[in-house]
Amino acid sequence: MSLIDVFITSLVALRGNFLRTLLTMLGIIIGIASVITLTAAGAGAQQGVAARIKGLGSNLLFVNPYSPTPPGGIAALLGATGASLYYEDELAIRKANIPGIDETAAQSTTGGPGSLIQVQAIYGGVNASTVQVGTEPSYQYVRDFYVADGRFLSQDDLDKKSLVVVLGAQVADELFGNTEPVGNTIRIFAGLSRQFGVTFSFTVVGVMERKGVTATGNPDDQIFVPLPSIQARVPLVRNPRGFTNVNQISIKLTDSSKEQSVKNAVADVLRKQHKIINEDDFKVQSQSDVLSTATSVDRTLQVLLVSIAIISLIVGGIGIMNIMLVSVSERTREIGIRKAVGAKRRDILMQFVIEALVVTTIGGAIGVLAGVGAIEIARTFTIGGSGTRYLVTPFWVGVGLTMSAATGLVFGVYPAWRASRLDPIEALRRE
C-alpha cells in the first residue's frame, strides 16, 4: 500500500471519529503549546537579562561581600552575609592608585523586596515603599545614571551629613504626581515594621532620569541619600568597630582590557585591608560574570520548563496510546476484512502508526500556533508585567514539532503492532 493511500485511509478514519481525535490531540496541543510558550518566555528573559546587564553601564566591576560559609540564625534573617565591606575599603582602593580604574562609588542599600529593613518615603499622606541607596557623588558617573531635575548629592552633603535626598523617577511620581518635588521635605522611615524604626526628614534636591526596569531591579524605585547621613543615623548600618558598612563598591574601568589586572589588584588591596590569610570574604565580579550567573540561573529555569513540557507530552502520549488501543479493538473487524482481502502485517502496522503520527503532528502544529497565540495574548494584556519579553525561536518550534511526531511514533507503535498481529479469522468473527 502506498504511503499516500495509508495517509488518506488514516485521515478518513480520524475524521470518522472527529471529537475523539480532537480530544486525543488536545494532550499534544497543550504539551507543545507549553513548550513553545515556556521556552519563548525563557529565551526572552535571557535576551532581556543580557540587554539589561549591558545597560548597567560599560566597563563596570562590582565588589560585594561574600562568605564561603553563610551564617545561619538571626544573622541570616537580618540579611547578613557573614562578611563585610566598608567605606574604608573603597578609600584604600582609591589610595592604591591602581592603573585602569577610572572612578569608584560605594553604596549602602536598605529596603526593597527580600530585605528585613523596609524603607518608606512619606509625603502628604502618601507612603511609598522604596529602596534607599546611600552613596557618593561619583555614583552618577560610575553607574551612568544621571539626575534629570535639580542636582545630585555633592561632596558638601557628604561632609555635613546633610539630610538631602534625590528621588528616583517612579518615587517622585508616586509622592508628588505632577507637582515639583525639588525643595520639598519628605520623611523617610526605616525599620522592621511600621512601629519599630526611625523617621527623618529629608529635603528633596533632585530627581533622577527615568531608566526602566533592569535585571538587577528597578532603578527608578530608589532614593539616593549621602552615604554618611544614613550611616550616622540608621541602626544596623553603623558598625561597632567604627567602620562604615557598604553593600557594594562599583568600579568603572578606563577600558575593558584592564578587567583582569584591576580585579587582581583590587583583590590584593582588599586582602591586605581585611587581613585575609585563607579565603576571601569578598567577590570582585565583572558584568560578564554577573551575566553568566544570570544565564546559568536561566538555564536551570529552562531545564525545569522543558521537563514540565516533556512530562505533559508523555501524559499526552499515554492518552494517544490509550485511544489507539481502543481504536484497534473497535476496528478489529476492519483489520480482519483488510487482512482477508490481502493487507499484510506491515500494511496494518503502517496504517495505525501513520494514524498516530497524523494525530500528533497535526496536534503539534496546532500546539505551535496555540503557543504563539498565547504569547500574543500575554503581550497584549502584559501578563507577567510590561517588561516581560517573549522570544519564539525556530529551534524550539523545531524541537516541539519533532517531539510531537516522536510521541506519536513511540506511543503509536505498540497499538499498531497489536493490530498487525491480529489473526484474521478471529478478527472477522468479532462483532
Partner 1 sequence: MIKLRGISKTYKLGAERVHALRGIDLDIHDGEFLAIMGPSGSGKSTLMNIIGCLDRPTEGVYQLDGINVRKLGDARLADVRNRRLGFVFQSFNLLPRLNAVDQVAMPLSYRSVKNRKKLAIAALRLVGLGSRMRHNPTQLSGGQQQRVAIARALVGNPTIILADEPTGALDTATSHDVMELFRALNEQRGITIAFVTHEPDVAAYTRRIVSLRDGRIVSDQPNVPIHARTPAPNEVAGAPPPAGPNA
Residues found near partner 1 in the complex (CB under 8 A): 1-2, 5, 9, 12-13, 16, 333-334, 336-347, 424-425, 428
For residue 312, the tally of other CB atoms under 10 A from its CB is 18
Q: Strand locations in 137-271, DSSP E?
A: 147-150, 164-167, 185-191, 197-208, 222-226, 245-246, 248-253
194, 429, 430 from 345: Cα distances, Å = 78, 19, 19
To partner 1, the closest distance from the beta carbon of 3 in angstroms equals: 12
The least distance separating partner 1 from the CB of residue 428, rounded to whole angstroms, comes to 7
Return d(Cα 71, Cα 83) in angstroms, integer. 9
**Residue 186, all three cell numbers:** 519628605
* Cβ proximity to partner 1, 253 vs 343, nearer residue: 343
Pairing of strands 222-226, 126-135: parallel
By DSSP bridging, strand 118-123 and strand 282-286 are unpaired
Rounded Cα–Cα distance for residues 148 and 152 (Å) = 9
Q: For residues 55 and 92, is the Cβ–Cβ distance under 8 A?
A: no
Q: Which is nearer to partner 1, 1 or 301 (CB)?
A: 1
Residue with Cβ nearer partner 1 (16 or 212): 16
Give the Cα separation of 355 and 247 in Å (integer): 62
Q: How far apart are CA 424 and CA 133, in angstroms?
A: 82
Q: Which is nearer to partner 1, 1 or 406 (CB)?
A: 1
* Of residues 2 and 69, the one with the C-beta less far from partner 1: 2
Torsion of CA 178, 208, 206, 136, to 10 degrees: 160
- Taking the least distance from each CB to partner 1, the nearer of 143 and 338 is 338
Nearer to partner 1, 313 or 350 (CB): 350
Q: Which residue, 8 or 75, has its beta carbon nearer to partner 1? A: 8
Distance of CA 144 to CAs 152, 213, 346, Å?
A: 13, 15, 70
Q: How far is the CB of 418 from partner 1 (least distance, A)?
A: 16
Q: Would you state the torsion angle of the CA atoms of residues 297, 301, 304, 310, taken in this order, to the nearest 10 degrees? A: -130
One-letter amino acid for residue 264 of the chain: N
Task: Give me the least distance between CB of 317 and partner 1, in Å please.
Answer: 26
